Structure 1
Amino acid sequence: MIDSDGVLRNSTAEDQSRNLEQLRSTMQGAQGDLAKATDLRLISLKGIQQMVLEAQKQGKSIPEDVYCLGGLTRIDYVFVYPERNDIVIAGPAEPWAIGPQGSIVGKNTGSPVVNLDDLATAFRYVDQARNGGVSVSIDPTEQGYRQFNQALRNLGGNVNPSQSAPALARAFGPQQVTLSGLPADSHMARVILAADYRMKLYGMNLAKPPVAGLPSYMEMIQNRSNASTQIQSRWWMACDYDAITHSKDRLAWKISGQRIKTMTETEAFDQQGQRKQTGKADPVAKKWADNFTKKIGELAVKDPVFGELRNVMDLCLVAALIESQNLQSLAACDLSSILGNRGQIETIKLDVAKSLDPQISFLQTAQGLLVSASGGVMIESWYFATQIKENESVGEAKVATAKLDNDKIWYQ
């Protein structure tokens, strides 16, 4: 949750219970054919646009099945239909419900569903994403580092991390949140910030991950005698896609790959708290990052914010693909009413996170006190949208779905 001062905090059990009850009371769930799981459901973007405009014309809310994009849990294909003036996204889908953490998830797999709000945000800010990508970073301030070093000097040579941690954390002070490429008050921004926050907690041994075989970095490094107190590791999550394949006529596109990977680099800090990138990775930090990447599929279900991050990355990639490859022109369709900069979907506006209470982990080493505190997310959708190659088998997938009715929004 984010308080009135813009500080990100863990919500209380009471808050979570109240929010879950409210969300579940308003959720109807999938009806008709949408109540059946399928390996491939096709979602018409033109149909979604028409449904949104019709609801607005009648003064009604956007239907739940439209907001949940037919229960789509991943985007594997983009199909272009010039004869129907339409672009279709496709992937596995299932009936949905509110999960234990408050996310809208598939009833069968527990994977978060792709939603209309994030779709609209990805398309509206696709040009901003072109210039530097979408990113979030949670970092200590230079002042915080200076105060921390002064607190260490005040404590003297022998520091017991368990006893001194509260005082050192107060000296460290709030950590700053830096966001670029999309509105800070958007649901998408909240997702990537929350995913970064959760990754930090797991890496720093401040929360136990809900999956087996994922020890924290601090646990992995605790017996290492040569860990430097001035060189620390930073982790961030980034996109990880295979080359996008397309049919010869460029009417069918396939997206594949891990989706998310965790990367690391060491940073050097001086006594004034100024940070310098080293371009190198600590072996233990890389081992933790690789293990986190390996576990991301399990985490996407057990801690759904990572599944939501995966969906956000898919949507950013699809938006960049459609824009960079001029697919709207190829389809002779205009989706600007919902997806353009002046789109008519009123996206969710949330409180903006500006900082968070110090989330840091301390470990006593032979060289002093080791601090772990930094993290981030980077979505370079435009880079991956240009990594393309022809593969005619992708066109066969589109042929198998060729008989589409003009009056339907989704097909399976």
Structure 2
Amino acid sequence: MLSTYSISLRPALGDDASTPQATLESVESYSRVGEFTRAFEQINKIEDPKLRDQGHTAIARSQMKAGLIRAAVETSSYIEDDMQRSDLLNAASEARSKVPAGRGGGITPDFDQLIDLITTTVDPESWEELGGPGSVAPFSTGVYVDSQGTLHRVTQQTQDSLLTKIHDASKVAMAEQDLANESALRKVSLTRLEKETQLLWAVGRVPTDEMSNLAGIYEIKYLLVYPEQGEVVLAGPAGPWKVDGEGRHVNIATGRPVLQLDDLVVLMRNAMEEKGKFGCSITPTQAGLKAAQEYITQTSQKPLHPRQRDSWLEGLRTAVGRQDITVHGVSPDTRVGQVIVEADYHMKRVGMGLEDGTAGVPSYLEMVTIPPGGSPPPMDVLRWWFALDYRSVNVTEERNAFELAGPGVQVLSENELLDEQGQRVHTNTSSTLNETFAHNFSQHYDKLSAKYPIYAEMKNIFDMAMICSLIEKERLADVAHWNMTHFGPKGGYEVATSSAPTDVDSIMNMRVINNKHIIAGVSGGVYFDPAKALADDQLKVDDYGLMKSDRKASTLPKTIKHHGWWWD
């Protein structure tokens, strides 16, 4: 007598798992045989965050084994433990890099990119790899299946239309959070932003424009910490931005440069590795200064005709040669390194009268006066440098909200003497005239920033550097259980770099008063050290309750989407 048996390929543990651990085992069993829809159905029954993370990890690893890298990355996004999630994303990135390239000499359509665009833009959670009903796959006839299972044809005529519809769908999804709107206090979760950029990195993508420009924030108002939610948040005014004629991303309404993610990552790593210290210097060489002294001695034997002024000055610049540029604390090929060098160089050109200042900021040479019978100032080397200028850091009693108080940036000065060999000798003092220029520049910094955005860029760098140093000093990442797996020094986030400047034309100028020649050269740089500004006696507890109130109003909204990282 023959008997018949039915063989089931489903896991032994089914939907009737009675305990969380049994349910997890069911998730793992379904994942092993590729039944991801059932696995997701089971994981939704688990409330314990650690068990849920284990379940999502099991699904993601099975998806990777099946070659579903993008699906594995999306599944990883549901893992709350950032170390566990990071391990999976590193594995996904490595697996993606090992996928062999297509063979043959013909041009093959990039279906993967189109599929990824569809599945990540149109209702991401509705696709098969994440337990939804929809599926999408490339077909040689040019069709695709939407998230509702409907087949659509992609012809040459309608290809742009398809992408337009996807783009429109994205705009609809963002209707509640429109980056085109001005916001008095936009919030950016650094923890969520790190996760989203790491998800993109795992599939070989760079951060979006919104991420790179930190959702359009152009000034830091608060640093907020929510330990119970695992959030570290930057908050400040924001709005739409554009690229100006100098290539800067600036707010359309105010013209202020918006914060840059690359800068934040560079400064975060600097705070962790260099205790927040960084800077640059632009200095003439000793040989150049000696040659300049000899040139002045040789050419001062006879009066200088006004028509000879430009050629004489050019000869002096040639004698001095180019000035050396050095950057410390951050890499000179990063944007941070280049912003501080550019700001320093431009400030010195304003001081020498080679660039126009603003009302209240005449150049050093414009301020020089020679009384009857008097002598012009000696050819000292004027030293000007940018330094931080925060009066205090306001903080709530619970130390979960911080606010920077003060202008942030100032210019300091010193007169340096030259010996016969062209060696610069520090005096640790500044003449009244030299100090006046530095004071004027500091007092009118906002006006100068409006005219020359590079100074606003410098202020952004200083503010972000202070915030990063605060995070490190107060151990705020530990408080929020944030391991900085992508933004930290060992993280995979790659900062854009470009050629680093090493020298620059000498910054010096000359003015003639009463047939007497006033010659001025300048050195200096940028020096940022947050130690004193973040000392305990500089942290002032907010007695008014405004910061506490703003923090409460800025908490992560319950309606934020799974991949959301900013809100108003």
TM-score by length of structure 1 reads 0.87
Asked if residue 204 in structure 1 is aligned to residue 359 in structure 2, the reply is no
Please name the residue that 2:462 is paired with: 313
Give the CA RMSD over aligned residues. 2.0
- Check the 8 A contact 2:370/2:376 in 1, yes or no: no
Please name the residue that 2:505 is paired with: 357
Please name the residue that 1:401 is paired with: 554
Q: Deviations over 1:331-373 (max 9, x none)?
A: 12222312x1112221011111111122211245798653222
Please name the residue that 2:440 is paired with: 291
Task: Tell me the distance in 2 between the aligned counterparts of 1:179 and 1:186.
Answer: 10
Task: Tell me the distance in 1 between the aligned counterparts of 2:555 and 2:290.
Answer: 63
Task: Tell me the distance in 1 between the aligned counterparts of 2:540 and 2:210.
Answer: 34
Which residue type is aligned with residue 247 of structure 2? G
- Check the 8 A contact 2:393/2:405 in 1, yes or no: yes
Bigger mean CA offset, 152-161 vs 274-283: 152-161
Q: Deviations over 1:145-177 (max 9, x none)?
A: 111112122223345343411111101101011
SS at match of 2:206: coil
Q: 1:147 aligns with which of 291, 309, 315?
A: 291
Task: Tell me the distance in 2 between the aligned counterparts of 1:233 and 1:271.
Answer: 17
Which residue type is aligned with residue 166 of structure 1? E
Shift, 1:374, TM fit: 1.4
Task: Tell me the distance in 1 between the aligned counterparts of 2:541 and 2:212.
Answer: 33
Shift, 1:128, TM fit: 4.6
Q: 1:219 aligns with which of 363, 366, 371?
A: 366
- Check the 8 A contact 1:40/1:90 in 2, yes or no: yes
Which residue type is aligned with residue 333 of structure 2? D
- Check the 8 A contact 1:313/1:381 in 2, yes or no: no
Alignment of 1:53-68 (within 5 A): 53-68=198-213
Asked if residue 51 in structure 1 is aligned to residue 201 in structure 2, the reply is no
Task: Tell me the distance in 2 between the aligned counterparts of 1:382 and 1:318.
Answer: 13
Which residue type is aligned with residue 565 of structure 2? I
Alignment of 1:256-405 (within 5 A): 256-338=405-487, 340-364=488-512, 369-386=518-535, 387-392=538-543, 393=545, 394-405=547-558
SS at match of 1:83: coil
Change (3 A) 1:230 1:152: closer
Task: Tell me the distance in 2 between the aligned counterparts of 1:296 and 1:100.
Answer: 22
Point out which structure has higher relative CO (alpha carbons under 8 A, 6+ apart): 1
Which residue type is aligned with residue 367 of structure 2? M
Shift, 1:61, TM fit: 2.4
Bigger mean CA offset, 265-274 vs 231-240: 231-240
Bigger mean CA offset, 262-271 vs 312-321: 262-271
Please name the residue that 2:237 is paired with: 92
Shift, 1:242, TM fit: 2.1
Tell me the number of residue pairs that the alignment of Structure 1 and Structure 2 aligns: 380
Bigger mean CA offset, 74-83 vs 374-383: 374-383
Shift, 1:246, TM fit: 1.1
Task: Tell me the distance in 2 between the aligned counterparts of 1:239 and 1:363.
Answer: 32
Change (3 A) 1:37 1:142: same
Unaligned runs of 5+ in 1: 1-29
SS at match of 1:385: coil
Task: Tell me the distance in 2 between the aligned counterparts of 1:270 and 1:235.
Answer: 20
- Check the 8 A contact 1:144/1:172 in 2, yes or no: yes
- Check the 8 A contact 1:233/1:282 in 2, yes or no: no
Alignment of 1:113-192 (within 5 A): 113-130=258-275, 133-158=277-302, 160=304, 161-192=309-340
- Check the 8 A contact 2:380/2:520 in 1, yes or no: no
Change (3 A) 1:325 1:159: farther
Fraction of identical pairs, as percent: 28
Q: 2:218 aligns with which of 70, 73, 80?
A: 73
SS at match of 1:130: coil
SS at match of 1:381: coil
Please name the residue that 1:15 is paired with: none
Of Structure 1 and Structure 2, the greater strand share is in: 1
Larger Rg: 2
SS at match of 1:34: coil
SS at match of 1:215: coil
Task: Tell me the distance in 2 between the aligned counterparts of 1:125 and 1:403.
Answer: 28
Please name the residue that 1:235 is paired with: 384
Shift, 1:399, TM fit: 1.4
Bigger mean CA offset, 59-68 vs 392-401: 392-401
Task: Tell me the distance in 2 between the aligned counterparts of 1:370 and 1:46.
Answer: 53
